[in-house]
Amino acid sequence: MKIPSLLVLFTGSLFLFACNSAPKQLPILGSREPVEKIVNGKTVIDTVYQTIPAFSFMNQDSAIINNDSLKNSIYVADFFFTSCPSICPIMSKNLLTVYEKFKDNQEVRFLSHTIDPKHDTIPVLKKYADKLGVKGTQWSFLLGSKDSVYLLAKDGYMSYSKQNDSIPGGYEHSGYFLLVDKDKRIRGAYDGTDKNQVAQMSKDMDILLTEYHKK
Partner 1 sequence: MRKIIILISFLAITFTVFFSACVNEDSIKYQRYYSDGLQMYKDHCQSCHMDDGNGLASLIPPLSDTTYLKTNRKMLACYIVYGLSNTITINGKQYDGKMPAEKHLASIDLAKILTYITNSFGNKQGIFDVKEIEKNLIDCSRDTVKVVI
Distance CA 65, CA 142 (A): 8
Task: Give the x/- contact pattern for partner 1 in 108-147, rule: CB under 8 A.
Answer: --------------------x-xxxx--------------
Q: Is 88 annotated as contributing to ligand binding?
A: yes
Q: How far is the CB of 92 from partner 1 (least distance, A)?
A: 6
Q: Is 19 annotated as contributing to ligand binding?
A: no
- Give the bridge partners for 56, in sequence order: 66
Give the torsion through C-alpha atoms of 196, 200, 203, 207, to 10 deg. 180
Nearer residue to partner 1 within complex by CB, 30 or 169: 169
Sole binder of partner 1 in the list 60, 92, 161, 174 (CB under 8 A): 92
Q: Is 84 annotated as contributing to ligand binding?
A: yes
With contact defined as beta carbons under 8 Å apart, do 198 and 192 qualify? Answer: yes
Do the bridges between strand 171-173 and strand 161-163 make them parallel or antiparallel, or are there none, so unpaired? antiparallel
Amino acid of residue 183 = D
Q: How far is the CB of 151 from partner 1 (least distance, A)?
A: 27
Distance CA 164, CA 151 (A): 16
Distance CA 70, CA 20 (A): 32
Q: How far is the CB of 195 from partner 1 (least distance, A)?
A: 10
Task: Give the x/- contact pattern for partner 1 in 44-83, rule: CB under 8 A.
Answer: ---------------------------------------x
Residues of this chain that bind partner 1 (CB under 8 A) = 83, 85-87, 89-90, 92-93, 96, 128, 130-133, 168-169
